Amino acid sequence: MTPAVAYALLVLAGALLVNAIPHLAAGLRGEAFPTPFADPPGKGLSSPLLNFLWGAANLSLGWWLTFGLAYVDVRFGRIAVAAGFVALGCYLATRFGRVRRDREGR
């Protein structure tokens, strides 16, 4: 695997790790939350169990990608994971903030 591919996978790992947080939190609180499996995808609500499972899958894959690619430069690997985490976190905060506003009629 080339270093460029490894770093791209680490960015993906960061994105998966940040995406796990809201799904795990919603599932563990027993709340419905949008998932890609909802109708419509990303807007409709999925059950707490599905959210927990989706969050666990994201966490597992993100963790595996982060620690399974240990042969890349650790310093730049951390930066790549952080970049994916922050980039997707900003997108999700904006996207789901809009979904909530639309649902609440504001």
Asked whether residue 83 is assigned to any structural domain, the reply reads no
What is the tally of structural domains in the chain?
Answer: 1
Token pair belonging to 81: 């994971």
User: Running along the chain, 106 residues long, what does each successive block of 10 average in pLDDT?
Assistant: 86 96 96 92 91 97 85 80 94 86 77
- Following DSSP, what letter does each residue of 29-48 receive, concatenated? HT--B--TTSSSTTTS-B-H
Range of the domain at 97: 3-73+88-104
pTM: 0.85
For residue 72, give the DSSP letter.
S
Residue 106: the pLDDT is 66
Asked whether residue 46 is assigned to any structural domain, the reply reads yes
Q: How far apart are CA 7 and CA 84, in angstroms?
A: 10
Residue 7's closest CA among 74, 90, 88, 63? 74
Asked whether residue 82 is assigned to any structural domain, the reply reads no
Residue 70: the pLDDT is 59
Q: What is the largest CA-CA distance in the chain?
A: 49
Residue 104: the pLDDT is 79
Residue 89: the pLDDT is 94
